[in-house]
Structures are given as structure tokens and as C-alpha cells.
């Protein structure tokens, strides 16, 4: 288990971060950034709730990135997290292609202008029909 890793790319498209699996039970696992320090840590948690075949209850898949930073001036620990939850009904119409298309439409929203508006508590509007690799820093 200690050798399992996830390699993810930062916004700039060139910097990779390696996360190593630090725990896991059943359908849940936690991954820690290899560059974690005492004052700056990142974790990825992956959880699945898989229901038996024939169940009408949808499967639930969740991934959370949590970042902890200690303010060097005040010593206060600050935490931010981003979670993605995917709920999939146990119906053949929801293929991986359908779910991928839904995910693509959500990911398309995450650019700088959308996030600036969204984080201020407003509901953004406009054309977010962007092609190319995901980059939340693009305008």
C-alpha cells in the first residue's frame, strides 16, 4: 500500500504533485502529498458507496482535496477543501460516457472569471463554452 501513488498536475500544466496512499479501508482511501511539511499539507480523500446490484439506491463517489496552511505570522491553521460528488443511478442509461459528459460540463465552469464571481457569493452567467485542457486560471 505504501508504494501506491497518484500524480496530479497543477494549473500551469507542467508541475506534477505526487500523492502517496497513507490509509485505506474498503472503498475509502487517503492520499498525502509527498511535499507535505508541518506548516503546509495537502490530502486527497476518495470514498465510494457502492450499492448491491438490483438496488434502486444510486452509487456515490466522492473525491476531496483538502489543503492546510499555517499562517506564518499568526500561527493560525487555515483549511480549504474542494469536493466532487458523483451520484450515479443504477440504470444502464448512465454509462461512463454520459457521466464523463456531465463532468466535462461542470469542469468547463471553473475558470478565473467564474470563480471570482462564484466565491463572492453571486451566481455567474455568461458563455463558459471553453475547449482545451482544464485550467482554472484562464479568463
SS3 content of the chain, % helix, strand, coil (to 5): 15, 40, 45
Average pLDDT of the segment spanning 69-75: 95
> 2-52: per-residue pLDDT in tens?
478 988 887 666 778 899 999 999 899 999 999 999 999 999 999 999 999
**What pTM value is reported for the model?**
0.79
Sequence-ordered strand ranges (E) for 5-74: 5-9, 16-25, 28-33, 40-49, 59-70
What are the structural domains of the chain? Answer: 5-107 (2.40.160.220), 111-139 (no CATH)
Amino acid at each position: 500500500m505504501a508504494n501506491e501513488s497518484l500524480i496530479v498536475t497543477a494549473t500551469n500544466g507542467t508541475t506534477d504533485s505526487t500523492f502517496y496512499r497513507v490509509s485505506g479501508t474498503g472503498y475509502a482511501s487517503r492520499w498525502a502529498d509527498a511535499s507535505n511539511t508541518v506548516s503546509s499539507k495537502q490530502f486527497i480523500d476518495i470514498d465510494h458507496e457502492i450499492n448491491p446490484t438490483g438496488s434502486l439506491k444510486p452509487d456515490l463517489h466522492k473525491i476531496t482535496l483538502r489543503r492546510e496552511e499555517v499562517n506564518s505570522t499568526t500561527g493560525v491553521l487555515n483549511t480549504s477543501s474542494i469536493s466532487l460528488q458523483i451520484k450515479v443511478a443504477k440504470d444502464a442509461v448512465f454509462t461512463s460516457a454520459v457521466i464523463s459528459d456531465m463532468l466535462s460540463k461542470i469542469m468547463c465552469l471553473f475558470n478565473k472569471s467564474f470563480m471570482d464571481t462564484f466565491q463572492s457569493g453571486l451566481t455567474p452567467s455568461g458563455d463558459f463554452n471553453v475547449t482545451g485542457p482544464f485550467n482554472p486560471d484562464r479568463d
